[in-house]
Structure formats: C-alpha cells, structure tokens
Chains A and B, each alone.
Chain A
C-alpha cells in the first residue's frame, strides 16, 4: 500500500509527462492483463497451493481433516498400488514415446508429397486424434474384447490362438498402449508434416548434388532439420502419457487386478472413490515434481546435444 502511495505522490510531485504516461500505461496494461492474471491465479496457482496444503492432511474432502505432516508421503513409499501405477505409466512412456516419434516422422515423410487425394490421406491420420477419447475407448473396448472382439476373431481366422487382451492382467496395459498410440500419434504426424514443409528445397537439392542417397538425405538433412519439433513432441508426448486417464476410465477402470491403473487414474480413485483426498493430493504432487524433473532433464539434454552439433 505504502509503495503505491509513494508512487502516486511522486507522480503528482514531478508531474512530468513521461512519468504520468508511464502510470497511465501501467494502468492500461493491467486492465488488459488483469482478467487473464486472475484466471491464471484462480484456476492454477491457488488450486496448486491448496492441493499442496491438502497433501499434508488426512482430508476426505467431507470433513476438515487433521494435519498429518509427511505421513502421506511416507505411506506412498510402501503402497503397492502406487508402485504398480508407476510401473504401468513408465511402461506406457517407454513404449509410446519412441514409437510415436518414429512412426510420426515416417508417416509425415510419406504424406509430404504431391499425389492425388493427399488431403484425404492426411485427414485419415488426424481423425483418431480429433475423435473423443470416450468414443475411442468404448469402440476399442469392443474390438479388443477377449470373447467377442474383432481382433481375437481375426486371430482365430488366421489359425492363431486367441489372446486374453483387455481381460488379461499381463496384456491389458499393452493393449491400452496400442489404443493410446492410435488416438494420439496423428498429432506427431501433423507437427512433423508442418516442419517438413519448412525445409527449403535448396538444402535437399544440395545434398543430392553432393551425392547423398535417399537414406543419407533423411538421416543427415531431414532428421536434424526437424530436431526442434522432435524435442517439442517428446515433451508434449511425455506430458500426455503422464496425464493418461480418459481411456483407462472408459476401457478397463484400472482393472483387471490393477493391471492398467495409471498415476492420474489412481489419484482420481484415491480422491473421489476411496475418500482419501489428502493422500491423493500427495500422489498428485509426486507426479507434478516427477513431470517437472523429466521435462527439465529432457530440455537440458536436447540443448546440450544442439550445442555440440
């Protein structure tokens, strides 16, 4: 308060035009930025602070809850379901991320040419990404059903043994990874496609003149040119995986036997079905810090690689 007062009095004492204009500019600026600032504060920072406070209590969101200090975080260390959720999410990350980057680039290269109906092909790859996860989940739930699904029907027709798929604790997470890949990798394709179209023809032609074959051009011209997009997609994909929730909700609800519980799904279960919101907030915070560390590490790695090149 005092500093505003001094600022104001200073402004009135030396009422030189630039000072007054600066104040006017400031007010105008804050009038524009104010609503957005309020929204960011209200919908991100305040809930984050509240969740942090919650993670030190045993609140069930119904009654006030007691302060339990670090008890929730200590319990995490020994919680087998949390460990399983970590493993499931890590498996998804390891399988999905490289696959989506490689397949995304490969498909983008295929789609980056002038042939008849290219617009249609490009649309085909983007449609799953635009489709709602709920619809995709329900549809895929039917396709990968153990007893009535199309997929097992196809296997049997080909003379192969039917698989457990979504009903099998050892296969369910793999099936979910496939579904997740199908719904998300269209995004990598679009981003890579945009990047490929930015590569100037001269560079590719120069490589050809230097005697580079198709593979060498791809390896030494195209891949480095889209490197920034690769970093972006890796970070984006990582966040996507760590936030994975909707398909779990619509295909398996974390089952069978916790085989498909992901971290965010577990947070939801803890907070809204088991009435342990304080513990859920602690899990959410571990996820938050973990995500931050992974992203910063990934960015640093990418920057260092960029520097040595």
Chain B
C-alpha cells in the first residue's frame, strides 16, 4: 500500500518536473526589452550570415532582444522539431518553415496571426512577390513573413554539351529539345547521363513534374481542392515524356537515394542537365563546374516554373512577443538586410525593390546565372495546392512516377491509381 502511495506521489510530481525540463529559456523580465527566440534552421554560410544580422539588430535596437539558435536541426528536420515543441509548449517565437507545411502549421492555435502588423506601411507588404504572400496566408490568417524564395531552372554542363556537339540551349527551347539533347549527351560507356530524376518516395521526385503539367494546361487538383486533376491528358503526356526519356532513351539517371546524389553527379561532370534551384550555385562554384543556367523548357511558348517560398512563421506566447517578432521580421526582410543575406548565401530577392538597392549589381556578378533565376520568378505563377493533404498526395504521385520511370507501369494507369488514392484521401472530412 505504501509503495503504491509513493508511486502515486511520484506520478503527481512528474508534470512539475517535466515542465521544469521544458520551457523555452526566455523568461521575461517586466520592464526590460522584450526577448524573443528564433530557430533559423540554417547551416554553414547561411547560419553565419543570419547570426551576423541578428547580432547587428540587437546592437542597434534596445526594445527587442533576439536570441537565435539553429533549433538543433536543419530546415528539413524542422517540422518534427516544431511539432514536438508546440506539444510541450516549448516553441520559439519565430521558426524557419517550408511553405508547403503552412496549411498544417496554421491549424495549431499557437500559430500567430500577423494581419494587424503587416498593415504597417514600414512593412511594404505588397513589395513581396505574390506567391510568397499567398504561401503565408492561410484561411485569411497571415502566419509569418516570407524568408527565402526559389524556383526551378535547368543547369547545364557547358563542357559535356560541347563534347556531344550541342550548342547551349536557348531560352525558348521546348521539352522535345530537352529530350533530344539529353539523349545525345548520354554516353552509357562513360557513365554520363543526359539528366536525373528522383525516384525516392518524397516531394523531390514530384515537384519537377508540376511545371510540365501546368505548361500543358493541367492542374494538380480541381479548383475546390476536392479531387485529383493531375491524371488529365496534360498530366499523362508530361509523365509519358519522362518515361520515354528514362525507359526508351535511357538518358535519365534514376536517383533512388535521398535527393543529394543527383547534385553530386552534376558537380562531377556526369550529367549534362540538372533541374534545380539557386541554392546549388555556391556548391557548383566550389566544385568548379563550368555551368550555364536557362529557364525551363516550354510548351507552346509557356515556360511556367514552380517555386517554393520558405517562411519565418511566428508562434504566440503573448501579445508583446508577437508584436516584437513582427517588428524584428520587418527589419530582417527589409531590402538593405536582404541584400546582405543574398550576397552571403546566393539566394534570390524576396521583394521587388531589392533590385534598386545600390550593390545589387555586385550580387549579380558574384553568382553567375543568378540573373536568369531571378528573372525566372516571373514564370512562377502557381503554387502547390494549399491543402493539409498535399504531403500525402505527393507520396502517391511519387509512387506513380517511380513505377513509370522504372518501366513497371504506363503513365496513364500509374496516374489513375494515384488519383484514386488522392480522391480517397481528400474525401476524409477535415483534410
């Protein structure tokens, strides 16, 4: 009996102990500056760059003090981390989160609504690109500020193309050109491929398909986000093009590893073309690849691309801290600070007025090809459907892509099957 009582007492004590272990470490002193905590999720150069900016903010501002850590994870691992933190009430005020997670994140009652703050003229909200604003706006609520924007372009290896007797692609090239050039550049004997496509089960296999579908007049879901639309004629033809490249021409290296191998192959001169974004430019320069950049091939003159804005999402502790977070993010995303971040990291301008900053030319010079990617922002018109089921849908499509590119299924039946699963997933109430 006594043992049971002691155990019960221990169990009663437990929440107190756990609460003591948790907490976000920013106990507020009344009257002093408002302290906020930010998880930046950056690595190497980007981490150093953001830390420098924050140090400068803390020196020049007395009312808000920003504590900054990576959050203990990279951007890829931020979602499980923030989920756990929200559950145990140990969340930071600001976290770096991918835009595709926004619909799910916004469901948490601790996600802040910044609508009153972005009306401040100092924010210049309309200066951010439209796709970024759309990403952080979920159900009429603004959950954060745009952090980084990117888009998909084609990188090509100049030497490999020359060796195959090919001229660099012009900006008005088509997917048929892409297929023909890839086939020509492939040299199986030497282990050289035209291009690569991911066949692992993740979004990296899927996002490259959407521009093809959009260009051909297709959509991912129906307008009400209730049913799959990717198995249309446009979707079928898009996937079939990739299938003929992978199966008939054998010009595609099918990457079953988690994402990075394709980039390594491009760096070591084994791929003629590589579909990717601005974030690889610093690595390509470090590897000494003689690369060129061109917008995506088009369909009937339409070169639409895909972009995935990342966000600085704000979480609530109290009103004072939300206000302080908004003030800090207004400063961080202002053109002067952004240009310094862009020069350090090679990322793209997140707002239009940055191009008028003195020093913008030096940035363009530092990253050859960045002007093409920056100009390509105009081709980013649509975003992936802002539904909480998108990650699940993406896995169904990834499965269809893998089976088709491996020659195990034809484009139509694979997409139809993925569409049936998607419809079922979307039919679940609350999805």
Chain A residues at the B interface, C-beta cutoff of 8 Å? 1, 3-4, 7, 26, 30, 34, 37-38, 41-42, 46, 58, 60-63, 66, 141, 145-148, 164, 166-169, 172, 249-258, 261, 269, 271-277
* B107 A146 Cβ-Cβ under 8 A: no
* A58 B430 Cβ-Cβ under 8 A: yes
> Does chain A have a CB within 8 A of B83?
yes
Contact with A along B96-114 (1 / 0, CB 8 A): 0000000011011100000
Given contact pairs A169-B406, A251-B257, A275-B391, A63 touches B108 in the complex (Cβ within 8 A): yes
* A41 B10 Cβ-Cβ under 8 A: yes
Supply 28 A–B pairs (Cβ within 8 Å), ascending by A. Answer: A38-B10, A41-B14, A58-B430, A61-B87, A63-B107, A66-B430, A141-B261, A145-B261, A146-B254, A147-B191, A148-B191, A166-B256, A166-B257, A167-B256, A169-B402, A169-B406, A252-B256, A253-B200, A253-B201, A253-B258, A255-B199, A255-B200, A255-B201, A256-B403, A272-B83, A273-B395, A274-B395, A275-B104
- Give the shortest distance, in Å, between B59 (CB) and chain A (any CB): 36
* B200 A252 Cβ-Cβ under 8 A: yes
User: Inside 8 A of B109's CB, which chain A residues have their CB?
Assistant: 63
Q: Which of the residues B6, B105, B254, B398 comes within 8 Å of A167, measured between beta carbons? A: B254
Given contacts A167-B406, A169-B406, 6 further A-B contacts (CB under 8 A): A38-B13, A62-B86, A145-B257, A167-B256, A257-B199, A269-B395
Chain B residues at the A interface, C-beta cutoff of 8 Å? 1-2, 5-7, 10-11, 13-14, 17-18, 79-80, 83, 86-87, 104-105, 107-109, 191, 193, 199-202, 205, 253-254, 256-258, 261, 265, 270, 388, 391-392, 395, 398-399, 402-403, 406, 408, 430
* B1 A3 Cβ-Cβ under 8 A: yes
Given contact pairs A60-B104, A252-B200, A274-B395, A3 touches B5 in the complex (Cβ within 8 A): yes
User: Inside 8 A of A261's CB, which chain B residues have their CB?
Assistant: 201
* A62 B256 Cβ-Cβ under 8 A: no
Given contact pairs A62-B108, A252-B200, A254-B201, A30 touches B391 in the complex (Cβ within 8 A): no
* A61 B83 Cβ-Cβ under 8 A: yes
User: Inside 8 A of B199's CB, which chain A residues have their CB?
Assistant: 167, 255-257
Given contact pairs A3-B1, A60-B388, A147-B191, A257 touches B258 in the complex (Cβ within 8 A): no
Q: Interface residues of A: mostly helix, strand, loop or mixed? A: loop
Given contact pairs A62-B108, A255-B398, A257-B408, A275 touches B388 in the complex (Cβ within 8 A): yes
Q: How many cross-chain pairs have Cβ atoms below 8 Å apart between A and B?
A: 123
Q: How far is the CA of A180 from the CA of B256 in the complex (A)?
A: 18
* A257 B399 Cβ-Cβ under 8 A: yes
Q: How far is the CA of A145 from the CA of B264 in the complex (A)?
A: 13
Give the residue name and chain of the A residue nearest to B260 (CB): A138
User: Inside 8 A of A26's CB, which chain B residues have their CB?
Assistant: 2
